[in-house]
Amino acid sequence: MSGYIASLVSVIGINMILALSLNIITGFCGQVSLGHAAFYGIGAYTAAYLSKLGVPLALTLPAGAAMAGLIGIVVGLTSLRVRHDFLAVTTMGIGFVFLGFVRKQKWLGAELGISGIPAPGLDPLVYALLIVAIAGLVIVFCVWTKRSWMGFAFDAVADDEDAARTVGINVPVYKLTAFGIGTALAGLAGGLYVYFARIILPDTFDFVQSIAILTMVVIGGSGSVWGVVASTIALTLLPEVSRAASDYRLLIFGAMLILVMRFSPGGLAAWARRYLARRQAA
Amino acid sequence: MYFVELAVKGLVYGCMYAMMAVGLTLVYGLLRILHIAHAGVFALGAFVAVIVANTTGSLALGFVLATAVSAILGVAIYRFAYQPLLAHPPFVPMIVSIGIFIVLQEGFRMVFGAYGIAFDTNPWYVSTVELAGVRLNQVEVAMVIASIVLLVGFGLFASLTRAGIGWRATVTDPQMATSFGVDPIRVRYLNFIFGSGLAGIAGALVGLLNNYVEPTMGGLVSYKALAIIVLGGLGSVRGTLIASLILGVVESYGTIYLADVFDRDAIGFLFLIVVLMMRPQGLLGRG
């Protein structure tokens, strides 16, 4: 039972880091990304490859994050060239390029991925708590960012790039910062996943995964830290509480995307805000 | 000879991409929505064709119904999903479109089964023709002919008929077109009927080409079609057609010469990213 709890808590923590990291890029800074799973994968493959060489966890996790962040900044450069819909399709393309590359590399295990990854050397429950602690730090970081000058700058870029430029905000720098931080955190989540699952397959990081991460962000409320945290927990637990929900997980995700966008495009966070405002008024 | 064969096969794929991508471009040109759910329309066309062909034995009837049902689905998606959301930023309908795509794909899996359906008889699949030393099966020939006939027909419609001219006017300047008496709602319906019908035919043809129809078959084709419309310069029909053919040929050579580094699906997107870095507005887009 405690093994089950530990794995559930680990999955929630990893998903939370993933969703919050995409929230920095898409929610805070307004840059739509449909290929976030690629950075999750870059972090995972980096950490897995190094761990097989005998590098300890304390080094593989930062290495995975750094690798994902570096490539993320390079990808972020595309956001300086293309905007909105062009960017959405380009980032989606990055996901396919990553997957197509990994699938053909024999030294990365090609279609079979990397297996036989050494154990983290911690009790599963302790490891789960480590993941949760890191997720907690990410939450604190996100809340702090939102209130900082950087958060205001992100907001301005998301609202209207040209207006942001006229008030002296260095738009390229903030976009690249958002991409760098967001993708590095996704890479960190990838590293954490490696020691949790002890095997990685290319398909774990496909387009459906990107969409699943986006679903958590959008349903929680793009840009809202607590909304994203709540929706991540809810959407991760959903398949666990009911057998039907786990069989039709994707169907439910799809239906929720449609309904939430149709009736509350700001996600559950916007809905909760409206609800509280109405109660205060009454 | 091998070189020519790759080019010809690439162009055949290019024709298939064109039939998918034109529908996406039309939607984007008119509504500025990335119509990702188009993939579901495509797969539905394939399923209707295979089921009708297997039960009635008539492939022609299969094609007719595939076109009709796909067109109805396309119009329904516009009416019930996009129309209420047009006032929101484009991000919102795009997410809805992703949602619809997932629901359709999972729906097909539940209704038609995860393992797909094969055609009972597929005479075109086994008979081949030789053109200038390149051997093609008749489905591939049909794909090329169908795309040329349909797209030329569409071109004539858009430039010669009253409805077609009204359509182009609406794409260029909706307000102006409306004040000249064009009904923009009718144009939108026409748009979805034509684009979705075309996707349905493409789906049926791809089903014949693989001799197999499965729930996820829409995915890759439509992601590539999205890459193509961006490559062509979003909203430009001419750019889309050129980009479709180029992508088909690039993929065809890429699968041979880059086989050790990237798989087929990555090559198209890699090409897209390289082009966008040099021309952010796409091949034929306005700067």
C-alpha distance from B108 to closest chain A C-alpha (Å): 11
Contacts of A211 in chain B (CB under 8 A): 98, 102
Looking at domain B2-278, its CATH architecture is Orthogonal Bundle (1.10)
Tokens of A68: 């994902």
Asked if B95 and A101 come within 8 Å (Cβ–Cβ), the reply is: no
Which class is A2-205 in CATH?
Answer: mainly alpha
Contacts of A90 in chain B (CB under 8 A): 230, 272-273, 276
Residue whose C-alpha is closest to residue A72's, from A99, A49, A41: A41
Question: Is residue B33 within 8 Å of residue B95, measured between CB atoms?
Answer: no
Asked if B261 and A101 come within 8 Å (Cβ–Cβ), the reply is: yes
Give the mean pLDDT of B105-128: 80
What residue spans define the domains of chain B?
2-278
Question: Is residue B45 within 8 Å of residue B66, measured between CB atoms?
Answer: yes
Asked if A86 and B226 come within 8 Å (Cβ–Cβ), the reply is: no
Question: Most A CBs within 10 Å: which of B80, B94, B106, as the mutation test of the A interface?
Answer: B106
Question: Is residue A61 within 8 Å of residue A48, measured between CB atoms?
Answer: no
C-alpha distance from A160 to closest chain B C-alpha (Å): 12
Question: Complex ipTM, two decimals?
Answer: 0.84
Asked if B90 and A85 come within 8 Å (Cβ–Cβ), the reply is: yes
Residue-wise pLDDT for B139-193, tens only, equals 788 888 888 888 888 888 888 888 888 888 888 787 888 888 888 888 888 888 9
Question: Is residue B67 within 8 Å of residue B197, measured between CB atoms?
Answer: yes
Asked if A104 and B263 come within 8 Å (Cβ–Cβ), the reply is: yes
C-alpha distance from A186 to closest chain B C-alpha (Å): 21
A92 touches chain B (CB under 8 A): yes
Predicted model pTM: 0.86
Residue B43 CA to residue B46 CA, distance in Å, equals 5
DSSP codes, chain B: -HHHHHHHHHHHHHHHHHHHHHHHHHHHHHH----TTHHHHHHHHHHHHHHHHHHHS-HHHHHHHHHHHHHHHHHHHIIIIIGGGTTS-THHHHHHHHHHHHHHHHHHHHHH-TT-B--S--HHHH-EEEETTEEEEHHHHHHHHHHHHHHHHHHHHHHHSHHHHHHHHHHH-HHHHHHTT--HHHHHHHHHHHHHHHHHHHHHHHHHHHT-B-TTHHHHHHHHHHHHHHHT-TT-HHHHHHHHHHHHHHHHHHHHHSTTT--HHHHHHHHHHHHHHH-TT-SS---
Residue A91 CA to residue A75 CA, distance in Å, equals 8
Residue A279 CA to residue A269 CA, distance in Å, equals 15
A48-82 b/e with 16+ CB inside 10 Å = b?
A: bbbbeeeeebeebbbbbbebbbebbbebbebbeeb
Question: Most B CBs within 10 Å: which of A34, A80, A91, A96, as the mutation test of the B interface?
Answer: A96
Give the mean pLDDT of B14-30: 85
Asked if A207 and B219 come within 8 Å (Cβ–Cβ), the reply is: yes
Burial class (CB in 10 A: 0-12, 13-18, 19+), A264: middle
A129 touches chain B (CB under 8 A): no
Which residue on chain B is closest to A90 by alpha carbon?
Answer: B273
A103-138 b/e with 16+ CB inside 10 Å = b?
A: bbeeebbeeebbeebbebeeebeebbbbbbebbeeb
Question: Is residue B29 within 8 Å of residue B266, measured between CB atoms?
Answer: no
- Non-local CB neighbours of B79 within 8 Å, separated by 6+ positions: none
Question: Most A CBs within 10 Å: which of B96, B247, B277, as the mutation test of the A interface?
Answer: B96
Per residue of chain A (282 residues), what is the pLDDT tens digit? 577 888 888 899 999 999 999 999 988 888 888 889 999 999 999 999 988 888 888 888 999 999 999 999 988 887 787 777 778 888 888 888 898 888 888 788 777 888 778 877 778 888 888 999 999 999 999 999 888 888 888 888 888 888 888 888 888 888 899 999 999 999 999 999 998 888 888 888 988 889 889 988 988 888 888 989 999 998 888 877 777 777 788 888 888 888 888 888 888 888 888 888 888 887
Residue B255 CA to residue B231 CA, distance in Å, equals 20
The confidence score (pLDDT) of residue B44 equals: 92
Angle at B35 between CA B31 and CA B41, to 5 degrees: 125
Contacts of A251 in chain B (CB under 8 A): 102-103, 106-107, 110
The confidence score (pLDDT) of residue B2 equals: 75
C-alpha distance from A203 to closest chain B C-alpha (Å): 14
Segment 27-86 of chain A within 8 Å of chain B by CB: 32, 78, 81-82, 84-86
Question: Most B CBs within 10 Å: which of A36, A261, A263, A264, as the mutation test of the B interface?
Answer: A261
For residue A258, the surrounding DSSP H or E stretch is helix A249-263
Residue-wise pLDDT for B115-126, tens only, equals 888 877 777 776
Residue whose C-alpha is closest to residue A57's, from A193, A183, A174, A222: A193
Residue-wise pLDDT for B228-271, tens only, equals 888 887 777 888 888 888 888 888 888 777 777 777 778 888 88
| Nearest-CB residue to B103 (from A81, A100, A258) | A258
Greater model confidence, A18 or B87: A18
CA distances from B115 to A161, B62, B112, B195, B249 (A): 47, 20, 8, 28, 30
